[in-house]
Amino acid sequence: MGTMTIRHVDAHLKQPLRARAATHARSMEDEVRDILLVALAADENQSRRPMRPDHADLRRQMAALTTFSAVVIRTERDER
């Protein structure tokens, strides 16, 4: 496991963190570790949400577009 040091933590953050850790009967370090795990799990869950329908439609429209470079490649390929 890695080690992380967080410097310059304001008192208005440290004091509630200390109280929260005491409420959960654990150290501030354990409390911060849990907060980070929960936050990262929430981010991961959001990134796995299905695409909104309007984004899916846009993606299909973009896929249907033929770019100039695609036309050139196909033309050169077909000429061989």
pLDDT of residue 80: 75
Q: Is the pLDDT of residue 40 over 70?
A: yes
Q: What is the mean pLDDT of residues 22-28?
A: 91
Local structure of 28: helix, strand or coil = helix
Local structure of 55: helix, strand or coil = helix
HSE-CB at 11 with a 13 A cutoff on CA atoms is: 0
Which CA distances in Å does 36 have to 14, 29, 32, 40, 75? 15, 11, 6, 6, 53
Cα 25 to Cα 19: distance, rounded to the nearest angstrom: 10
pLDDT band at 78 (very low <50, low <70, confident <90, very high): confident
Cα 59 to Cα 41: distance, rounded to the nearest angstrom: 27
Q: Is the pLDDT of residue 58 over 70?
A: no
Domain ranges of the chain: 11-79
